Amino acid sequence: MAVVGEASYLEALCSICGSYRWERVRHDCVAALIPDPRNRFDSNAVSVQVDGQLVGYLSRGDALDWRPVVQAFAAQGKSLGCEAMIARREQGSETPNLGIFLHLPAPSDALVLAG
């Protein structure tokens, strides 16, 4: 699943993956999904954090699907973690921006883990 808004958090992404140049990047990491009810654009927002740094958000549609799961984990004082990859294409691609992609099960499968 792709994360949105990560262009606003390029400094954090660069810091996490250690790349500030326009080069191919494939950096495996763990992301945490955190409810963000105070988000001024979307009260259903779910933020994506890596190493405690905000790196983007789930899309509005994905946030609607995942919000109940994320809230179930938060109610237990936990955050939902998942495997993630920070990636960038080589020079010559359309943009030097980094992106982050999440490896998540179906929301119903993750809800079972929340207990």
Secondary structure of residue 101 in the 3-state scheme: strand
Please state the φ and ψ torsions of residue 95, each to the nearest 5 degrees. Answer: -145, 145
The 10s digit of each residue's pLDDT in 54-103 is 999 999 999 999 999 999 999 999 999 999 999 987 666 666 688 999 99
Say if residue 3's pLDDT is above 80.
Answer: yes
CA 86 and chain centroid, separation: 10
Q: Which residues pair with 100 in a beta bridge?
A: 86
- The CATH class for the domain spanning 6-114 reads alpha beta
Q: Please give the model's pTM, rounded to 2 decimal places.
A: 0.90
- Domain residue ranges in the chain: 6-114
CA-based radius of gyration for the chain: 14
- What secondary structure letter does DSSP report for 9? G
Which class for 47: exposed (0-12), middle (13-18), buried (19 or more C-beta within 10 A)?
buried
